[in-house]
Amino acid sequence: MEMGLTIIKRIELAKEGNRRELGKLLSLIESGVKLPINNSNSWVLGVTGPPGVGKSTLIGVMVEEWVNRGERVAVLAVDPSSPRSGGALLADRMRMSSADSSESVFVRSLATRNHPGGLIPFLDPMINLLGFCGWSRIIIETVGGGQSEIRIVAFADRVMLVDGPDRGDIVQAEKAGIIELADLVVINKSDLPNAQNAANSIKTSFDYSNNNDKLVILTSALNKTGISELIDVVEMLEIDNERNSLRIKERLLSAWDFLLLSNPALNDILLDLESGRINLDEALNRL
């Protein structure tokens, strides 16, 4: 009971703007504690794309624009790789430092612990907590463009894929399936040569693949050009029911992966499989 009262008090303090208590509550969620919060109306944008295209810098200037418009913005920066080195996450925080200095901005780094679906049980309650505490715009950022990123951004009802002037990156995104979840594609670093050609190429590929409803926008986070227009477009995005079903599917698959990998009998079953004592069907039945 005392623990429950402590958590309730922390929630009250976090809602009043206490960032330290908010951070503690997020840590509790990561440790498996369930908070008495159910807020399913949070505004969430998922941002993904290959490394090196300037996602963090772009998010930083987008956050500044939102703050200027009176919004309170929380960023969950997800690293699907090392839970200890934190290299990419540290760089993300540095690139977002100017935005993170505002009282209207909260940035939290998260690691998936090299674990498919490793954050899945925690993302929804984290989003609910942030929305309950008054963060009006919540961004989930991933550092890469693989299967784990698909599952992470599936927790957002709006998905933005960021690419650079090199057409090859978007081809990899198409192969990974991220393009199916994305509502819009942003060509960042538009101040560099070939940016317009890359945008035209993507639009053409969408025309051929019946994805011509997707938007392609040019920005330069470095020069802060196209940012206000990008925010206007993101704000007006309508949630696509067809893509929403794909996102729900990814959530379910991710939750299933987490249950599988968290099963305490998994290692014993793997040993039995390796030794030949059981076959795959028997392993599935045991799981």
> Residues 126-167: pLDDT tens digits?
999 999 999 999 999 886 655 556 667 778 888 898 888 875
Q: What are phi and psi of 239, to 5 degrees?
A: -70, 120
- pLDDT over 50 (residue 192): yes
pLDDT of residue 82: 47
Pick from 18-27, 82-91, 170-179, 194-203: least confident = 82-91
pLDDT of residue 28: 92
If residue 188 lies in a helix (H) or strand (E), which one and from where to where? none
Domains and CATH numbers, the chain: 1-35 (no CATH), 37-244 (3.40.50.300)
- Diameter over CA atoms, the chain: 64
pLDDT of residue 154: 73
Residue partners of 22: CB distance under 8 A and separation at least 6: 14, 106, 129, 130, 133
The neighbouring-strand residues paired with 128 are none
pLDDT of residue 253: 80
pLDDT band at 107; cut points 50, 70, 90: very high
Query: What's the alpha-carbon Rg for the chain, to the nearest Å?
Result: 20
For the chain, give the mean pLDDT. Answer: 80
How confident is the model over 215-226, as a mean pLDDT? 90
pLDDT of residue 269: 94
Task: Give the tens place of pLDDT for each residue, 224-269.
Answer: 999 999 999 999 988 777 777 777 887 788 778 878 888 899 999 9
pLDDT of residue 182: 81
